[in-house]
Structure 1
């Protein structure tokens, strides 16, 4: 990825300009975090339905992830105890669409390469 000037951005941990992206990587890299966002992207869900869709994710881990996503202002819990994406969460979902598109191309390539 290159900046508007054409120079590759610095990725040094000491560079304060990298703090937001490093914080995002740390948050999104936690197990089950992206899956929670994926499941909430199409529509808000209650805890039990979200837990059902999460498969192997334990209730305790799901609860912690939801708390972390709420603290990061990506998810909100409504008075009706429904979890939904905030505007920032929706924007992140839109950004992750590129990853979804890439994953489909990657899977097609991996499938055609095996055999």
Structure 2
């Protein structure tokens, strides 16, 4: 299993572990952005999150959730399920302008 990218440690695209490159490595992993996107509104149980993600395999979802928890972007509350941490919510807020840009880009012609 691949290790969770951490600033200061080598990552795809950066031998020095620049934080921006490490973040792109983390977010570029299969299903990662979809999981974060599905958690943007509320906490979800594992089953609900899996369904929201189009039935991603349980092993991949477990791996991604572990990476997100290790990165401090997602937390697990036994009663409510998985949710974005304040840091994860801030990341989502910062990504929303990209979503808006992509919509304008898609309509360009």
| Shorter-chain TM-score range | 0.7 to 0.9
The 8 Å contact of residues 14 and 22 in structure 2, kept in 1 or not, is answered as no
Counterparts of 1:82 and 1:93, CA distance in 2: 18
The aligned counterpart of 2:75 is: 76
The 8 Å contact of residues 43 and 83 in structure 2, kept in 1 or not, is answered as yes
Counterparts of 2:14 and 2:60, CA distance in 1: 28
**3-state DSSP of counterpart to 1:43:** coil
Where do residues 42-81 of structure 1 align in structure 2 (5 Å cutoff)? 42-80=41-79
- The structure with the larger Rg is 1
Give the alignment's Cα RMSD to 1 decimal.
1.7
The 8 Å contact of residues 74 and 83 in structure 2, kept in 1 or not, is answered as yes
Unmatched tracts of structure 2, length 5 or more: 1-12
Counterparts of 1:21 and 1:99, CA distance in 2: 16
Task: State the 1:79 CA deviation.
Answer: 2.3
The aligned counterpart of 1:104 is: 103
Counterparts of 1:87 and 1:39, CA distance in 2: 16
Give the count of matched residue pairs. Answer: 97
Counterparts of 1:42 and 1:13, CA distance in 2: 32
1:28 aligns with 2:36: no
Relative to its length, the structure with more helix (as a share) is 1
Unmatched tracts of structure 1, length 5 or more: 1-11
